Chains A and B, each alone.
Chain A
Amino acid sequence: MAYKLCVCIKVVPRSAVAKRFDGTTHRLDRSGATELNPHDLYAVEEAVQLRERIGGELIAVTMAPDDGLESLRGALAMGVDRAVAVADPAIAGSDLLATSRVLAAALVRERPDVIVFGSLSADGGGAQLSAAVGERMGLPVLSGVRSIEVTDGRVRGIRQTTDSEVVVETVTPCIVGLGGSTNVPRYPAFRDIVAAKKKAIDCLSLADLGIDPATVGESGSRTEVLTITSPPTRNRGGDVVTDEGQGAAWLFEYLTSRGFA
């Protein structure tokens, strides 16, 4: 039996771009340049490697209020076979509850054996989505893992915790959330980038998924941003200088003056 694997990836505002918020909705302005969530590159790599070992089909699944979908081509170039994107304006402003509802509905259609999640959304995630989607789909979740092994319908991972390493195991179908930068994501070759342009990105609307728009977006969310301000400065007020050849000498002086070195 051929395996079916999914990897959940998010398109986020490019990290170097200054963040702007809408004054009335308090939403993050997502209209600028976007990129694939850097943490999800490891998820894609892990999923591609897993597929290389066990075979089968690999599908990237994403949810985004509008397009920004070109960023998905990067994942396709790394070896993902096709992508499914739930893109519907009604999704804007979705919190964890609403996002997990949409993703679970999109994933159920694919009937995957293993669903891989990245470790964190760079635009303010809480590393909670894999567990949330697991609850909605009634699937077991191995999370915070640094490796994935699949043999005969059994899935094993090593979960890293504060003071130990735990080997955890479950059965397919299941969800696996990565614990960090567990691999070195590949740079696609030119021919893979070209090939990725021909791979399918299926766009689904909420109607396609049978989701009532009132249960997602802002109306389907249970948290609300009230104010956005500048934080009190937490800067220790330290000097930051550029090394123009004297950097080490400057640091040495600084450390000496503080009783170190």
Chain B
Amino acid sequence: MTTAAEIGAARSDGVPLVFIELRKSVPTAGSLGLLGKARGLFGGAAAVVAGPGSGDVAATLGRYGADVAYFCDDPAVHQELPAPNVDVAASAIRAGGHRTVLFENSVVVADIVGALACRLEAGVIWDLQDLKQRDATLVGTKYVFDDSVAVEAGWSSDVRLAVFRLGILEPVEAAGQGTVTRLEPAIGADASRVTVVEQRHATVADVALASADVIVAGGRGLRDREALALLEDLADAIGGVVAVSMPLVDRGWYQHSRQVGQTGNKVRPRLYLACGISGQLGHRVGMEKSGLIVAINTDATAPIFGMCDAGLIGDLHQVVPELTRRIRAAHASVDHS
């Protein structure tokens, strides 16, 4: 619980600024969730959002807790280019004299934060699980080394950059109303030296992972492409769809639409069967909210075993075909009875 006195102490250095990330012009759930977090800690929040259409988005942010929403719809701002976003964020920090800036992690955010930190000599704590006030100072909590160690850390800079782990925060609707302010920062020459030549949105997904009930997922433990057939077969028997970790998409075995994780799909099936997946953070953030997590892995120390409901230390090349055979046999005997 944050007491009124603590909120008072925190407020004296201004409300925090929340960076709202857009995806196809829609704010991400996690970045909206930061607004609620900021309000809980400081009693108020400001937001900054950039890109085409950001003016419209800014007008809706009061609903999630923003007292002020800065926006910048300069056409030079592209969602996928960090540099112009750094200019916008820096200008919002100056405009409101903000001393704390909250982000939810993403590929673009990591770059924005890295550059912003150096521009402002601002300390960064990333991968946060939580943020709290203690004795009127801000303390971040995070887990490191595959979540085996908990760390509390603090800042000693004027501006503090705080980056939450993906998927920790959910939006909370407040009845609030905020004001909207347009920013017109000079987008630096640096920013315009990187251009987007082409953007290819994922072609219509061949499967809808997000709505799948059962996912059979494969990772680098598959070793060769032929082993994908084992997973396809199991998925067929159990009534699921096949998904993969990032390295298999990198190898071109599957389209990106089949990837689960930080830079892929966030999934929440009733059953997630992870075969030959180590369960590193980049993957975990995409699937840890699944109903049941079942893992098959040859390495007893794989992090996936620390987060599963049932785990088998074994070779997927042997276990998966045998499991498929048993499921098919059970179905056949039901069909015949």
Contact = CB atoms under 8 A, between A and B. Distances in A.
A180 B121 CA distance: 28
A168 B119 CA distance: 23
Contact of A240 (B105, B152, B311, B315): B311
A197 interface: no
Given A96-B114, A168-B80, A180-B247, A235 B149 contact: no
B197 A180 contact: no
A229 B124 CA distance: 21
A248 B247 contact: no
Given A126-B163, A135-B114, A162-B263, A181 B199 contact: no
A254 B310 contact: yes
Nearest to B153: A225
Nearest to B322: A248
Interface residues on B, range: 35 or more
A130 B114 contact: yes
> Which DSSP category, helix, strand, loop or mixed, fits chain B's interface?
mixed
A165 B256 contact: yes
Nearest to A101: B118
B1 interface: no
A246 to B, nearest CB: 10
Contacts of A26: 151
B114 A131 contact: yes
B300 interface: yes
Interface in B230-285: 238, 246-247, 250, 256, 263-264, 270-271, 282
Contact of B154 (A131, A226, A231): A226
A159 B80 contact: yes
A168 B110 contact: no
A123 to B, nearest CB: 8
Nearest to A138: B190
Interface string B126-163: 11000000000001000111011111111111000001
A16 B305 CA distance: 16
Contact of A241 (B145, B152, B199, B313): B313
Nearest to B112: A131
Contacts of A261: 238, 326-327, 330
Contacts of B201: 163-164
Interface in A68-120: 95-97, 100, 120
Nearest to A231: B150
A160 B114 contact: no
A251 B294 contact: yes
A168 B149 contact: no
Nearest to B150: A231
A223 B157 CA distance: 8
Contacts of A100: 114, 117-118
B195 A162 contact: no
Nearest to A142: B194
A96 B193 contact: no
A181 B81 contact: no
Nearest to B158: A222
B303 to A, nearest CB: 11
A231 B147 CA distance: 7
Contacts of A3: none
A130 B111 contact: yes
Interface string A111-147: 0000000001001101111111011101011111010
Interface string A180-198: 1110000000000000000
A249 to B, nearest CB: 7
Nearest to A95: B123
Interface of B: 23-24, 80-83, 86, 105-108, 110-119, 121-127, 139, 143-145, 147-157, 163, 190, 193-202, 214, 238, 246-247, 250, 256, 263-264, 270-271, 282, 292-294, 296, 300-301, 305-315, 318-320, 322-323, 326-327, 330
9 contacts: A126-B114, A128-B111, A160-B263, A180-B247, A222-B157, A227-B151, A234-B307, A238-B309, A252-B323
List the 4 closest pairs (A to B, CB-CB), nearest first: A243-B314, A222-B123, A131-B114, A128-B114
Interface of A: 16, 19, 21, 26, 95-97, 100, 120, 123-124, 126-132, 134-136, 138, 140-144, 146, 156, 159-171, 174, 177, 179-182, 221-232, 234-243, 247-252, 254-256, 258, 260-261
Given A144-B263, A261-B327, 19 more contacts: A96-B124, A100-B114, A126-B110, A128-B126, A131-B110, A131-B114, A136-B118, A159-B80, A161-B263, A164-B201, A165-B256, A168-B81, A181-B250, A223-B157, A230-B149, A236-B307, A242-B312, A252-B327, A260-B292
